[in-house]
Amino acid sequence: MIKRPDYIKPGDTIGITAPSFGPSSEPYHSMYFFAKKNLENKGYKIVEGDTLFKNDGIGINTDPKVAAAELVDFYKRDDIDAIISAGGGELMNETITNVDFEALAGAKPKWYIGYSDNTNFIFPLVTISGVQGIYGPCISGFSKKWELPEEDAMALLEGTKTEFSGYEKFVDPAKEENPLPRDLDPSEYSKIDFDIPYEYNSEKVLTSFLCKNGKAEKAGTDTEIKMSGILLGGCVDVLANMVGTRFDKVKEFNRDHKNVIWVLEACDLTPMSYRRAIWNMREAGWFDSAAGFVIGRPLTAFGQEMMGADQYNAVTDVVSCFNVPIIMDADIGHIDPMLPVVMGAEVLVYANGNDLRFKYE
């Protein structure tokens, strides 16, 4: 069994640490204080790490050894009940170089929530330490006006819901208008009201495939898809780089867990690099226990095409050989809104048309 941390409740303490990117620059600096206030209004106490506002690292908030030491300390501290990452970033892989995940397996399980670069921590937390983690918003995600996605993230932390649905609309980045003024002086950000909702501009449409005899066929709009197993995955940009390192314990994980639902999304990858990354993971044996795939909307590759490669066949052509369902364009990842998911949790995934549901066991 992969251990589930204790749920938190108002009165508990949430630690904010920066294992990669932090709110040391605008608009994230001002957004952090909106998020902090929102959490305090919910009854939570906040402990800020020393790394939070540092800006002395190269491609990262601070020295990776310093970031790792604080991350591990926060995870082990009895006076911190859960951790929300300060941000995504680029080089959290250098931070986890200094994290002993085998040792963390002996610590009391604690909820950790973040996404994107935080895959570097959440993925080995599940596969090595044997502890569930939440792939969901970092601290700046709690600065906006709370809608269902933010409430869902808190519901996972607090254990108040067991079934979650995808959302009806999303923010297509190609149509998005920047709500923040351009060329704003940094001192002016503190005067901005970040308490605004998502600016939805598109209807969500799921694209699902059924695979048989190694071929992926697009599912009809009235086709019901069900899969059950353990959620695993994160940002493909990060995961593909983890293949073959000492943090790659996926073959061992697959030996113990025969039904894995891979939840994947991509940030900076083009259709070509996305396809290569999925191939890399497949050839490393990562998908050998796959019971299905839930694929989020990719940020850079969304709606793009390169020599015939696009966001769909970058996945389907590579993993159709496993003859399991593939649900694509899910509300997971870098294109808002984000449906938070518990990596390492047993779940029933259901899709019918544009309706996507996760029911935790």
**Secondary structure string (H, E, C) spanning 8-67:** CCCCCEEEEECCCCCCCCCCHHHHHHHHHHHHHHCCCEEEECCCCCCCCCCCCCCCHHHH
Give a yes or no: residue 352 inside a domain.
yes
The pLDDT of residue 291: 98
Give a yes or no: residue 36 inside a domain.
yes
> Which two tokens mark 322?
């496993």
- Enclosing domain of residue 132: 13-161
Question: Left if phi > 0, otherwise alpha if psi is -120 to 50, otherwise beta: which for 283?
Answer: alpha
Answer with the residue of higher pLDDT: 80 or 191. 80
Q: Which of 161, 185, 220 marks a domain boundary?
A: 161
Q: What residue type is assigned to position 340 of the chain?
A: P
Strands (E), 148-289: 163-165, 169-170, 202-203, 207-212, 215-218, 224-235, 260-265
Give a yes or no: residue 267 inside a domain.
yes
Residue the block writes with tokens 């990776």: 64
Residues forming beta bridges with residue 346, ordered by sequence position: 230
The pLDDT of residue 185: 74
Residues 253 and 327 both lie in one domain: yes
Contact of 343 with 132, CB cutoff 8 Å: yes
The pLDDT of residue 242: 98
Range 172-185 average pLDDT: 74
Q: Sign of dihedral through CA atoms 214, 220, 225, 230?
A: positive
Flag whether pLDDT at 317 surpasses 90. Answer: yes
Contact of 150 with 142, CB cutoff 8 Å: yes
> Which two tokens mark 134?
């939440």
Q: Which of 99, 128, 161 marks a domain boundary?
A: 161
Residue the block writes with tokens 């600016």: 199
Residues 127 and 45 both lie in one domain: yes
Q: End-to-end alpha-carbon separation of the chain, Å?
A: 12
The pLDDT of residue 191: 77
Residues 246 and 327 both lie in one domain: yes
The percent helix, strand, coil of the chain (3-state, each to 5) is 30, 25, 45
Q: How confident is the model at residue 31 (pLDDT cuts 50, 70, 90)?
A: very high
Alpha helices (H) in 189-249, listed in sequence order: 236-242
Q: How confident is the model at residue 181 (pLDDT cuts 50, 70, 90)?
A: low
Q: Which of 161, 188, 222 marks a domain boundary?
A: 161
Q: pTM of the full predicted structure?
A: 0.96
Residues 266 and 214 both lie in one domain: yes
Flag whether pLDDT at 183 surpasses 70. Answer: no
Residues 217 and 135 both lie in one domain: no
Cα Rg of the chain (Å, integer):
19
Contact of 38 with 71, CB cutoff 8 Å: no
Answer with the residue of higher pLDDT: 25 or 229. 229
Give a yes or no: residue 1 inside a domain.
no
Residues 150 and 254 both lie in one domain: no
Residues 24 and 138 both lie in one domain: yes
Residues 61 and 154 both lie in one domain: yes
Give a yes or no: residue 35 inside a domain.
yes
Flag whether pLDDT at 59 surpasses 90. Answer: yes
The pLDDT of residue 1: 84
Distance (Å, whole) CA 134 – CA 358 = 14
Give a yes or no: residue 92 inside a domain.
yes
Domains contained in the chain, number: 2
Flag whether pLDDT at 122 surpasses 80. Answer: yes
- DSSP string over 267-295: SS--HHHHHHHHHHHHHTTTTTTEEEEEE
Range 140-150 average pLDDT: 97
Distance (Å, whole) CA 115 – CA 102 = 22
Going from the C-alpha of 141 to that of each of 7, 184, 361, the distances in angstroms are: 20, 21, 27
Residues 22 and 130 both lie in one domain: yes
Distance (Å, whole) CA 146 – CA 231 = 26
Read off the pLDDT of residues 276-292 as tens digits, 9 standing for 90 and up.
999 999 999 999 999 99
Flag whether pLDDT at 180 surpasses 70. Answer: no
Identify the weakest region by mean pLDDT among 70-79, 190-199, 283-292.
Answer: 190-199
**What CATH number does residue 248 fall under?**
3.50.30.60
Give a yes or no: residue 185 inside a domain.
no
Residue 47: exposure state from Cβ atoms within 10 A (0-12, 13-18, ≥19): middle
Going from the C-alpha of 50 to that of each of 18, 19, 142, 333, the distances in angstroms are: 9, 11, 20, 28
Q: What residue type is assigned to position 283 of the chain?
A: E
Contact of 90 with 83, CB cutoff 8 Å: no
For 14, other C-beta atoms within 10 Å of its C-beta total 24
Distance (Å, whole) CA 83 – CA 137 = 12
> Which two tokens mark 234?
């994160």
CA 63 to chain centre: 24
